[in-house]
Each structure stands twice: as C-alpha cells, then as structure tokens.
Amino acid sequence: MTQFSKLFEPIHLGPTRIKNRIFNPPHGTTLSSQGKVTDDLVAYHEARARGGVGLIVIEGMTFHHTYDYKGAFLYAGDDAVISGLSKLHQACTAHDVPVFGQLFHAGRAVRLSHDGSKSLAYSASSVADERYRTVPVAMPNDMVWEIIDGYAQAARRLAEAGLDGVEILCSLGYLISQFLNPHTNRRDDEFGGCFENRLKFLREILNSVRATLGAEKTLGIRISLSEFTGNAMSPEEMLKICQVIEQDGMVDYYSVITGSSATPEGWVRVFPPMAIEPGFVAGDSARLKQAVSKPVLVAGRINQPQLAEQILADGSADMIGMARALIADPDLPGKAKSGQVDDIRACIGCNQACVGHRLAHHPISCIQNPVSGRERELGVPKSIRTARKVMVVGGGPGGMKAAFVAATRGHTVTLFEKNKQLGGQAILAQALPGRAEFGGVITNLKRELEIADVNTVLGTEVTLDQIKTVAPDVVIIASGASAGLPEVEVEGAHMVDSWSLIRGEVNVGSRVVIADWACDWSGLGLAEKLARDGCQVRLMVGGIVAGESIQGIVRDHWIGELHKLNVEIIPYARFAGADSDTAYFQHMTSGEPIICEAVDTIVTCFAPKSENLLLSELGEFGGEVLVIGDAVAPRTVEEAVLEGFRAANNV
C-alpha cells in the first residue's frame, strides 16, 4: 500500500489507460539524429518507462518545410520517422507505459538555421518577434491549409508507428498561439479577425487530426493560461477557447503549462528555475478544471511526490507532469510507490544540463545524474572482477559521486573530507540568495553515500603519509578549488574575495563595486545580497552580459531581480586596479578607462585555483591515481559529477 494513493490511481485519457498519474511531459532531448529516433533516444525513454512513469509524451516533433530543423527536432513530415518511433513505442509499452507524440510548429519563433544564413520565419501575420528578432512572412491562405493537412499527415505517421496518442502544442507563443492571439494575427481571411476566425486554425487542425486518428487513439492539447508576457491572451480568453474546443468534442485532455517563447519573462516560466516556487502552475490547472470536463494535466516545478499528491488531492489536476524531475531521477515513480521517498534524487531547478544543453544543441543530461542522456554508456554499472580499495580525497560533488559509483560497483571505498561538512563549494553555492535549493545536490549525494554504505571520514586533511598508511589500490583526487584573486595593483583599497564574503568572514562598506571576471552565479548573487542589505552596488561585468557564463533563463530572471533592486550593471569591464576609494576598469573593446569613484569595498569574483598539491607528491605512491572535477580545472558541478562517475566506473 503506497502513501501516495492518488498518485498511483489509474486513469483513462480517451481510449488510453494509464497505470498512474505521473507523466513525462514532452521535452526536446537532442538525442535524435537527422529528424529520426536513435538508439540513445529509445534508451532514454525506456529508462523512464522502467522507472515507473505512467505515460510518456515524446518531445515536440516538427512536420512541415516551413519549420523543419532536423538537427534539433524529430521530424514527422515524412515516413522515415515511423520505424524509429515504433521501436521507441515498443520499448516503453514493454513496461506498460503508453506513448504519445507531440506535434508543433514554432511559427515566427525561429532561432535555428539550416546553413548559417537567416531562415525565413512564417506566421499568421508579419508581426516582429521580440525574442527571436524575426520579421515573419504572413502565411498565404493555401499554406495555412497545407499546414493543417501537415498536422493530419504527421498524426497518421505517429499512429502508424503504434503511438497511443497525439498532443498538439497550442501554447508557448508558437504558431497556433500566433493564430489565436489578435496581437499576432492581423489576417483578413477566414483565419483572422473575430474570435471564431482566429480559432479556426486550431479547430481545423483538431478536426483533421481526429479524422485521421479515429476513436482508438488519444488526442490532447497543450495550452498556457498564463503566458507572463505582454500582448498575451488572457487566462479568461484561453478558458473560453478550451470551452469551445470541449464542445467540439475532438480532444481527450488538456495539458497546462505557463509561459511563452515570445519574451524573456515568458520564457523563464516555460523552464521555471529554482527561484520560482514549486508547483506554481497548479492554480491555472485548477481554474481550467472548473471550466472543462475532460482530464487536465499540469507540469511546472513539481519535483516531489508529496507535492504531486497534494495537487491531485486538492482536485487541481488529474495528472502530474515531471520533466526535469524524471531527468534527475527516472526512478522517482517507483521509489515513491515503494515508500523510498528519501532516495529520490530531487531536481533542483538549476536548468544547467537539461535546458542548458538543449538550448546549446547538445544532448540533455542532469548535473546530478550524468546517466541521463547517456543511458547506453553509463546506464548499467560496469561489473568488476575483484574488489579494490579506493580512497577518495575530497567530499565535494565530484568526490561524493565517485565514492558512490565505486562502492555501488562493489569496491571498498573510503571518502576523506578535510572539513566537518560534506559538499565542497556547493555549500557556498546554496548560500547565495534564492539558491538554497542548490543544497539539494549535497542532500542527494549524501543519501547516495548512505545507500552505498561508503565509509566517510570528516575533518581529516589527506596527506601523502596518510595515503601510505591507508595503502589503497586507487586514489581519486577530488580536492576541488579555492578562491582566486585578480593579478592587478591594489593600493590601500578594501578588497575582499567572493568566497570569504559568502562565508561571512569579511565585512563590506555601503558603496560596493563587484569586479566580476567569472560572470557566473557569484557576481549576480552577491549583487543581490548586498543590495538587499542596503548597499549601493555596481556590478562590473568582465563580459558582454552579467551572468554570461550561466544558463540564460537563470541569468535573465536574476538580472530582473537586480533591476528591481537598482543594481547598476556595467558590461565589458575588465578590472585594472584600485586605490583607497576608486576602482579602475578598462572597456574590453574600446580600451578606454571606466572609473568607479566613491568606492568603500571591492568584491572580486575571479578565477578559482585548483587544489591539487597532493598530486605532485604522489610520485612515490605505487597505485592508480585519478583526478576529477575542479582539482583538474575549476568548472561546475556538472563536470565534477560526470568525471567522478566516469572515473569510478572504470576503476
């Protein structure tokens, strides 16, 4: 008997029976190739099916030459997609998990190119897009009909592949939203003007897709009630649209998200980072549930079964989507069902290896779970012939993951950490404003150490003598990094480094300049902290935009917060030196000076230094030595954890 009784109730979406209420929402993986399913994509979804999810909705597929970027998307516009989809479907249904496919067309929201030249974008009307900076071509009437038929043909291919249902993406500011919204639809044919005409595109799509699918397959739509974007449709208008669609009787479910691709603030809500409250979308799904009778699905920062159960128990939705939660831990449903809730590796909303990779055109993964997207390489731990004695030096993210993996494979592992606490730099990372959830990395890794029964020794700095005493077969050096300082002349200035400030070891005055070489979380976070503490803050960015090195959605949201706090942000500012109350910068392209006067304190966010002195002494040690993470070169948790995993998987 599970503690999550609602979560594990079966449900029907149209003709499809689903064994529980957790679904894997559509998400682009960049695991396809040339528009087709690969073995990597099959393995990715099979891992989630095996982990106990009820339903998988595959990533948005394109289907028409006006938006056909096969390098990034599955392409349902020709029959070549069918066999791969069929393989994927069989791999999931073997675990009693039905599979739907999502169809989408981005309209004017075109970022990609076929050959580097700027692609033509098509939309309902020629209304410029703020985020993609495209001026689209208004679709001629016959092209609109061609696209409606394109949806039906693509749906036919999905059905031929055996998929159990089709979802039409009607939101996020993409093509269908562009037809629905009077701001982007200024047509004067039968698809523009009054409410009915603007709705006609969607209704024709649903009619033709339903005619293709018949009654045996499920048909759903994905919509946003709240787009968090100027010129958006209001929630009331979206509710009215859903009610009309409901009367037409074509769809079996509604899937609710928020946000839009049309503006930066709308985009933040599509992939809500940790700064946004978990489960914030449930209010919207609850409203829709009041307005329609068919099941309502919801997704958006629902990363734990307790919250999912609560949303179902409140009657705010009928199914719970977990995209990133299942990227972080595909086994979440099974663990929830069997009561192993503490073993769930909860997603922390960092957006780094999932959204970050996707938007940079790389296969998705997770900073906490490098197996995600690499199921065929790392999914099955390598077996060992003889157990070895493994000593891990450093209890940061890299060392903890390495210790877990080596122990899981059957080696005898001891992890040494010189501090009294595990976590390494993640302890500092979680102390920045709005970043407490980053501490989840530590919680999750600690739990893994417990599960694998790793012997952990805290408060012990490893030396060569100690290594000789322990006499391991393998030493994994995961000793991380320490704060770095700028190599500039500073006379009489009060200058402090970011790490000391986060640790509360130093004080600052009321007029602070942050010299931000790193352009990462530290500069943004300390600017926020100091501004909230009442300081006047100037963030001098050694790059083209504050937070240039971090994932764009996290950065954009943070810059908005700094704007509200009146933090002055000056880009292209190379730190050149300081004296008692002045900080000197150089513009990074003009070479001209930028002078900050009346400065009490300069906070530096500079290149950390790898801590690997021990390495140079290990010549005398006869065993195997591996170095991982920031000890190799300072980077992020993602590389530390991945390198820890790979190193431990090979010892």
Ligand X SMILES: Cc1cc2nc3c(=O)[nH]c(=O)nc-3n(C[C@H](O)[C@H](O)[C@H](O)COP(=O)(O)OP(=O)(O)OC[C@H]3O[C@@H](n4cnc5c(N)ncnc54)[C@H](O)[C@@H]3O)c2cc1C
List residues binding ligand X (CB under 6 A).
350, 352, 367, 393-399, 416-419, 424-426, 428-429, 432, 438, 461-462, 478-481, 499, 502, 521-522, 611, 614, 629-631, 635-638, 640
Give me the numbers of helices (H) and strands (E) for the chain, helices first please: 22, 27
Regarding 175 and contact with ligand FMN (CB under 6 A), the answer is no
Closer by beta carbon to ligand SF4, 362 or else 468? 362
Q: What residues are paired with 603 via a beta bridge?
A: 496, 514
Secondary-structure percent of the chain, ordered helix, strand, coil, rounded to 5: 35, 20, 45
Closer by beta carbon to ligand FMN, 159 or else 274? 274
Block residue for tokens 């018949």: 214
Which of residues 180, 213, 366, 429 is near ligand SF4 by CB under 6 A? 366
Q: 3-state DSSP call for residue 481?
A: strand
**399: partner contacted, choices ligand X, ligand FMN, ligand SF4, none (Cβ within 5-8 A by kind):** ligand X
Tokens read off for 62? 């394109």
The full 3-state SS of 405-418, as one line of letters, equals: HHHHCCCEEEEEEC
Report yes or no: 532 and 565 within 8 Å, Cβ to Cβ: yes
Contact track, ligand SF4, 325-344, x by CB under 6 A: --xx----------------
Closer by beta carbon to ligand FMN, 325 or else 647? 325
Regarding 325 and contact with ligand FMN (CB under 6 A), the answer is yes
Regarding 323 and contact with ligand FMN (CB under 6 A), the answer is yes
**417: partner contacted, choices ligand FMN, ligand X, ligand SF4, none (Cβ within 5-8 A by kind):** ligand X
Q: How many CB atoms lie within 10 A of CB 70?
A: 19
Closer by beta carbon to ligand SF4, 168 or else 400? 400
Regarding 60 and contact with ligand FMN (CB under 6 A), the answer is yes
**328: partner contacted, choices ligand FMN, ligand SF4, ligand X, none (Cβ within 5-8 A by kind):** ligand SF4
Regarding 444 and contact with ligand SF4 (CB under 6 A), the answer is no
Contacts of 145 (CB under 8 A, 6+ apart): none
Closer by beta carbon to ligand X, 465 or else 491? 465
Label the pairing between strands 573-579 and 489-490. Answer: parallel
From CA 41, how far away is CA 373, in angstroms rounded?
8
User: What residue spans of 360-463 are helical by DSSP H?
Assistant: 375-378, 397-408, 426-429, 440-451
Closer by beta carbon to ligand SF4, 19 or else 357? 357
The full 3-state SS of 262-287, as one line of letters, equals: CCHHHHHHHCCCCCCCCCCCHHHHHH
Closer by beta carbon to ligand FMN, 21 or else 388? 21
Sheet of strand 573-579: strand arrangement = 489-490, 573-579, 582-587, 593-596
Residues in the chain: 651
Closer by beta carbon to ligand FMN, 324 or else 538? 324
16 HSE (CA, 13 A, CB side): 27
Regarding 522 and contact with ligand SF4 (CB under 6 A), the answer is no
Stretch that binds ligand FMN, among 187-195, 351-359, 478-486, 639-647 (CB under 6 A): 351-359
* Encoded amino acid at 368, one letter: Q
Which of residues 32, 224, 351, 610 is near ligand SF4 by CB under 6 A? 351
Label the pairing between strands 16-18 and 11-13. Answer: antiparallel
Closer by beta carbon to ligand X, 57 or else 467? 467
Regarding 229 and contact with ligand SF4 (CB under 6 A), the answer is no
Closer by beta carbon to ligand FMN, 25 or else 107? 25
Q: How far is the CB of 366 from ligand SF4 (least distance, A)?
A: 3
**368: partner contacted, choices ligand SF4, ligand X, ligand FMN, none (Cβ within 5-8 A by kind):** ligand SF4
For 356-387, b where at least 16 C-beta lie within 10 A, e where not — what string?
Answer: bbbbeeebbbbbbbbbbbbbeebeeeeeeeee
Tokens read off for 283? 């209010």
Regarding 347 and contact with ligand SF4 (CB under 6 A), the answer is yes
Closer by beta carbon to ligand X, 161 or else 328? 328
Regarding 647 and contact with ligand SF4 (CB under 6 A), the answer is no
From CA 172, how far away is CA 602, in angstroms rounded?
42
For CA atoms 194, 197, 202, 206, give the dihedral sign.
positive
User: What residue spans of 123-281 are helical by DSSP H?
Assistant: 141-160, 175-180, 195-213, 235-248, 264-270
Q: 3-state DSSP call for residue 377?
A: helix
Q: How far is the CB of 516 from ligand SF4 (least distance, A)?
A: 23
Regarding 493 and contact with ligand SF4 (CB under 6 A), the answer is no
Site for ligand FMN in 273-312 (CB under 6 A): 299-302
Q: How many CB atoms lie within 10 A of CB 178?
A: 27
Regarding 442 and contact with ligand SF4 (CB under 6 A), the answer is no
**396: partner contacted, choices ligand FMN, ligand SF4, ligand X, none (Cβ within 5-8 A by kind):** ligand X
Chain center to CA of 330: 15
Which of residues 102, 123, 352, 522 is near ligand SF4 by CB under 6 A? 352
**353: partner contacted, choices ligand X, ligand SF4, ligand FMN, none (Cβ within 5-8 A by kind):** ligand SF4
Contacts of 108 (CB under 8 A, 6+ apart): 121, 122, 123, 127, 129, 132, 134, 136, 175, 178, 184
Regarding 28 and contact with ligand FMN (CB under 6 A), the answer is yes
For CA atoms 529, 534, 535, 541, give the dihedral sign.
positive
**222: partner contacted, choices ligand FMN, ligand SF4, ligand X, none (Cβ within 5-8 A by kind):** ligand FMN
584 HSE (CA, 13 A, CB side): 13
Stretch that binds ligand FMN, among 37-45, 46-54, 130-138, 317-325 (CB under 6 A): 317-325
Regarding 169 and contact with ligand FMN (CB under 6 A), the answer is yes
Closer by beta carbon to ligand SF4, 288 or else 348? 348
Regarding 219 and contact with ligand FMN (CB under 6 A), the answer is no
**416: partner contacted, choices ligand X, ligand FMN, ligand SF4, none (Cβ within 5-8 A by kind):** ligand X
Q: Which residues are at the interface with ligand FMN (CB under 6 A)?
A: 25-28, 59-60, 102, 169, 222, 257, 270-271, 299-302, 321-325, 354-355, 358, 364
Q: Which residues are at the interface with ligand SF4 (CB under 6 A)?
A: 324, 327-328, 347-354, 366-368
